[in-house]
Amino acid sequence: MRRYFSVLTNGIKPSKLAAVLAVWCICLLYVLFQGGKTSMMLFSMVSLLSVYLIGSSFGGVNRVKASRHVSSEHGEILHAGDQVRVTMDVTIPGLLPMPYLIMREVLQRHNGDKWSFEDSVIPNLRGSGELVFQTPPLERGRYAFSKTECISEDIFGLIEHRGEFEVETFFRVLPRTIFIPNWQRNMRSLRMGGTHTTLSPSRRETTQINGVRDYVYGDRISRIHWNATAKTGSWKSKEFEHESFPKTMIVLDCTAQGYQSPRQFELAVSAAASLVEYGAREYAGTGLFTASKNPSVFAASDTPSERMRMVQHLVDVDADRTESLLTSLERSYRHFPKGALFLLVSPLADSSVLEVMRWAETRGMNPGLLRILNHEGEKSGKEDYTSLLKSRGIMNYAASSLEELPAVLGGALR
CATH of the domain at 285: 3.40.50.410
At residue 222, the 3 state secondary structure works out as helix
* Best CA proximity match to 150, nearest among 124, 131, 168, 137: 131
Number of domains in the chain: 4
**Tell me, what DSSP letter sits at residue 200?**
G
**According to the model, what pLDDT value does residue 309 have?**
93
Q: Residue 142 maps to which CATH number?
A: 2.60.40.150
Whether 22 and 77 map to the same domain: the answer is no
The answer on 192 and 81 residing in a single domain is: no
- First-to-last C-alpha distance (Å) of the chain: 78
| 290 touches 329 (CB < 8 A) | no
Q: In this structure, are residues 96 and 159 in contact, taking their beta carbons and an 8 Å threshold?
A: no
Asked if residue 81 and residue 24 are part of one domain, the reply reads no
Bridge partners, residue 252, by sequence: 290, 345
Query: Are 153 and 275 within one domain?
Result: no
Residues 6+ apart with CB under 8 A from 402: 176, 178, 267, 270, 271, 274
Q: Which amino acid is at 220?
A: R
Both 142 and 255 in one domain: the answer is: no
Whether residues 267 and 192 share a domain: the answer is: yes
Range of the domain at 32: 2-43
pLDDT score at 201: 42
Q: Which amino acid is at 22?
A: A
Kindly tell me the sign of the dihedral angle through the C-alpha atoms of 24, 28, 30, 36.
Answer: positive
H-run or E-run covering 298: strand 296-301
DSSP collapsed to 3 states, 49-110: HHHHHHHHHHCHHHHCEEEEEEEECCECCEECCCCCEEEEEEECCCCCCCCCEEEEEEEEEC
160-163 own/partner pairs: CB under 8 Å, 24+ apart? 160/13, 160/16, 161/11, 161/12, 161/56, 161/57, 161/60, 161/61, 161/62, 162/10, 162/11, 162/61, 163/10, 163/11, 163/60, 163/61, 163/62, 163/63, 163/64
Indicate whether 87 belongs to any domain.
yes
Angle, helix 262-281 to helix 304-313, in steps of 10 degrees? 180
384 C-beta neighbours (distance < 10 Å), count: 14
Residue 215's closest CA among 204, 226, 207?
A: 226
49: in domain:
no
Q: What are the E-state strand segments in 113-231? A: 114-121, 128-134, 141-145, 148-153, 160-165, 170-174, 183-186, 195-198, 205-214
| Residues 115/116/122/125 CA torsion (nearest 10 deg) | 80
- Residue 269 shares a structural domain with residue 383: yes
Question: Whole-model pTM?
Answer: 0.72
Shared domain check, 12 and 88: no
What pLDDT score does 210 carry?
Answer: 65
Q: Check residue 376 and give its pLDDT.
A: 66
Cβ 160 vs Cβ 13: under 8 Å:
yes
Query: Measuring CA to CA, how many Å separate 256 from each of 186, 273, 293, 325, 379?
Result: 30, 20, 9, 11, 16
Whether residues 189 and 216 fall in one domain: no
Domain contains 154: yes
Domain membership of residue 351 (yes or no) is yes
Q: Beta strands 236-242 and 205-214: pairing type?
A: antiparallel
Residues 6 or more apart whose Cβ sits within 8 Å of residue 325? 253, 255, 291, 346, 352, 353, 356
Distance CA 293, CA 309 (A): 19
- Would you tell me how many other CB atoms lie within 10 Å of the CB of residue 155? 11
Asked if residue 131 is part of any domain, the answer here is yes
Burial of 219 (C-beta count, 10 Å sphere; 0-12/13-18/19+): middle
- Residue 233 and residue 248 in one domain: no
195 and 324 assigned to the same domain: yes
Question: Residue 54: inside a domain, yes or no?
Answer: no
Domain membership flag for residue 219: yes
Residues of the chain with pLDDT under 70: 1-14, 16, 52-60, 94-97, 155-157, 185-210, 240-245, 376-382, 411-414
Burial class (CB in 10 A: 0-12, 13-18, 19+), 279: buried
Count other C-beta atoms under 10 Å from residue 318's C-beta.
Answer: 17
Q: Which of 224, 223, 245 is nearest to 235 (CA)?
A: 224
* 48: in domain: no
Same domain, 366 and 261: yes
